[in-house]
Chains A and B, each alone.
Chain A
């Protein structure tokens, strides 16, 4: 399993252990944390919800794709679901490899694709008492934007070294 969900805090120590192999000369990880400010609104907590059956399939495909594209040893992504407070870890990506360059590239590829493709939703609760589903409420008010266009507004896509 290259991608999985957890309802409790991500255990980075044991997850990192899953990536260890004697042929790897290093490991790169990315942690996504709950931030207190988004688009000018003070955030107090988040709720993550996933369509897990499809999300684990798509997440697995993304990490498998990373393993094919980049000459790395092992890779893994873990995402939280449920209610998270400020500074809680929402997502963790780890990649081990012979050299650092491809580990950084693969790690970035995985987190970028996960944000774009995996059916996970985030509800932000604000200091003001309001709440909103990220990427859904404003698109609902501006239906002239297509899904693809919005994705491009909201996320920076990385240029992929091996993509055609």
Chain B
């Protein structure tokens, strides 16, 4: 669409800033990958950078990251994924398989790996260099050839990117409606399985039932929904109740007082 997609604004924030905030909640350091001619670009200039040192395109960015910090795995994210959420990243990180070159989502559209919302392991660096030296330039084809751990996305729209003004308008409209912030508290077995007693998270689920499905994908809760009750704002609730921004949700495992 002839515009810098990292500079597109949603809720007054550039997509680059949104991606930094999101990634920053899941990893220790976040960098933006830039071409040599982008280092002074105002959208990126204030951010820690990895400057391309090995050719062009996304594959150069990934290789340059490995060159800068060869021992770490990289969570690689494209700068044009406005729908990306904490849940999507959390699930990816939890299912990471460090024994293969990468852990990635399977595209909801064509079933192929999505290399730009993926964890790239340091073991991939050498093969990636060979691939590029041999004329390869597509990280997706690299993952198809070398095999990656592929995950099914639970939100089929999570990795949709924005390529046209129409898609941009649609993304703004969708993000205005959702996601909404909810407060969730966990007790007993579910507290242990989630590894936390409470959190505030963004979700596009509109009912407790939808939210539970999302959280099962994220934390692998072993209790099925029909074993639970649910409370919203400290009162028992229906599973199909319409959730509102700021609602406090508690899932209630089988009780055992007395």
Q: Which residues of the partner chain A approach B175 to less than 8 Å between Cβ atoms?
A: none
Contact B255 A135 (CB under 8 A): yes
Contact B227 A147 (CB under 8 A): yes
Main secondary structure of the interface of A (DSSP, over half): mixed
Contact A120 B255 (CB under 8 A): yes
Binding site for B on A (CB under 8 A): 32, 48-51, 53-54, 57-58, 79, 90-91, 111, 114-123, 133-137, 139-140, 143, 145-147, 150-151
Contact of B188 (CB < 8 Å), options: A49, A54, A79, A90:
A49
Residues A114 and B188 in contact in the complex (CB < 8 Å), given A53-B234, A54-B250, A143-B227: no
Q: Does B253 contact A (CB under 8 A)?
A: yes
Contact B189 A136 (CB under 8 A): yes
For B, the interface residue count at a CB cutoff of 8 angstroms equals: 24
Q: Mark B166-185, 1 if CB is under 8 A from A, else 0.
A: 00000000000000000001
Residues A121 and B258 in contact in the complex (CB < 8 Å), given A51-B231, A147-B226: no
Q: Which residues of the partner chain B approach A58 to less than 8 Å between Cβ atoms?
A: 236
Q: How far is the CB of B213 from chain A (nearest CB, A)?
A: 15
Contact A121 B253 (CB under 8 A): yes
Q: Does B35 contact A (CB under 8 A)?
A: no
Q: Which residues of the partner chain A approach B229 to less than 8 Å between Cβ atoms?
A: 119, 147
The winner among B226, B250, B253, B256 for most chain A CB atoms within 10 A is: B256
Q: Which residues of the partner chain B approach A135 to less than 8 Å between Cβ atoms?
A: 253-256
Q: Which residues of the partner chain B approach A139 to less than 8 Å between Cβ atoms?
A: 223, 227, 254
Q: Which residues of the partner chain B approach A114 to less than 8 Å between Cβ atoms?
A: 257-258
Q: How far is the CA of A116 from the CA of B257 in the complex (A)?
A: 8
Q: How far is the CA of A100 from the CA of B229 in the complex (A)?
A: 36
Contact A136 B235 (CB under 8 A): no
